[in-house]
Structure 1
Amino acid sequence: MRDFVWSAIFLLCYKGVGVDGVEQTLVRGVHVPSFALVGGHVPLECHYRLNGTPLYSLKWYHNGTEFYRYVPTERVRPINIQPSLIFSVTEQYRTEERVVLSLGRLTLGATGEYRCEVIAEHPTFRTEAATAHLTVLSEQPSLPLVEGGEEVYAPSDVITLTCRPPQHSPPGYAPTLTWLVGGVQVRQDKVKMTTRRQRPALTLSLPARQVEAGGGSVRAECRMSLGKHSLSAYRILRVRHTHRALVTTLHSGASEKASSTLCLRLALTLILMAHVSYVAL
């Protein structure tokens, strides 16, 4: 009886405190992609650490409905996967600190909250859970829109381009916009984020002299990201080389001057020859 009482007190009061007095955390992280496409597949990862305590069970829920259960002490059927019409479930691999699943054949109904629940073994049966949200898109988003720009810039110009998400992007989504020039992400002081009609816009301001110094031509890329999915739109920036035009002008003037001198010398030679012939007669 006394042992039972102490076990009950331990079960009710123990909260998993380590030797240093700091409460331990069972669930170390849940990794679920933010976005996916209908018909695609995504990985679900649950990381946990029991610090020497055996695992009683690990469960996955979608919007509160259990679809995966792992109970190590169940010898006959330690893994139980519930059939679903909104996605398929496959266990990729499992270790003492991680369980990785793969959801396939995704439907729009797969959108929602995914929760991993970890329960420690007797005597604590301590329970912890962590959640993440997945949104399933019906189709690939359209390319971002790039506004502004000229065919050719003068070196003294400031190049200004604005990037926006597509007009018919799904409501409620917050894509991330990034400018890259020559494959390198542009510094924050060269871009400006604004919002118009609840649509974000990212404006790039770049001195044309910088493009000229780099060869006179460079690709500017606007990248729109939704989770692991990204789409890009491009513009080729071209800047005139003023020193080339100056060299061409000087070369052209020097050629004309040399040509005039040659003609003058030829004319003087002909006159001299004619004069000598007249004197000989």
Structure 2
Amino acid sequence: MRSTRDFAIYLIVTVFMCLLSIQQGLSLRWIKFDVPSPVNRGSDVVLTCKFDLEREHLYSVNWYKNEDEFYSSKPHHSPPKTSSKRGVSIDLARSDSQHVTLKSVDFESAGTYRCEVLADGPTFKTLVRSGMMEIVDLPNGRPVLTGGEKKYRPGDIVSVNCSVPMSMPAAVLTWYINNQKAQKKYLKEYPLEEDSEGRKSATLGLTFTAQRCHFSEGQLTLTCNATVHSLYAEHALHTGVAAHPVSAHFGDNVNGSESVSGCVRVLLVLPTACLLILFKFL
């Protein structure tokens, strides 16, 4: 008798949990949330707050920037309610309950954006997500090189500077010698220049002594790469030829790097040893 009652209780609990699971599966849920970042200054941005009501009824969708509400959409309420906020200019023609379009974003548009989706009663289920938006201002142009010579001899000092136009944040600069990354000891970082809007211009110098094997193909090639996040990637080249035909000497350094990017230091000892062993057995 007891086992029958226990089984009945188990069956009731199982059915209840199944029904609860089904009910939860049919409730308000996220499909996609997106706050683009980084974003180029002056561009339009679409904030996405996409959800599935399932069997719920929507009460409201609210957007906040740094805790201040700037957009509220409710069914049967048109147009949506908007509030004036610094850095937030809404394109109502391209906005709805699941997307909000911001026009021509500026530095003041940066911040934390939060979407709040509220279902109607009796459940009043709520979805909340937030994301950071960073605004960048890309350089208006490519890197510029100064210094350097058209011809070099082994022993000459090679000195070139690479500068990038104003941007926010400052561009990241990287020097390459004959396609190999230059060692840190050859680099000189200059103080950032800054304008009234907070944009910065970066300059990175490269100085090293030319060696014979820098001219293994009769030419020295220096490359300055400039990047700002994944939105800007440009480079500038400097080439100098050998003043007189030269050949790479054993032990010279091709790329200004003694470790990974150094001259091809062919170890002649090993091949020689192999030949001696081979002749011994002949």
TM-score normalised by structure 2 residue count: 0.48
Instruction: Compare CA radii of gyration and give the structure with the larger one.
Output: 1
TM-score normalised by structure 1 residue count: 0.48
The structure where helix makes up a greater share of residues is 1
Which structure has more RCO (C-alpha within 8 Å, separation ≥ 6)? 1
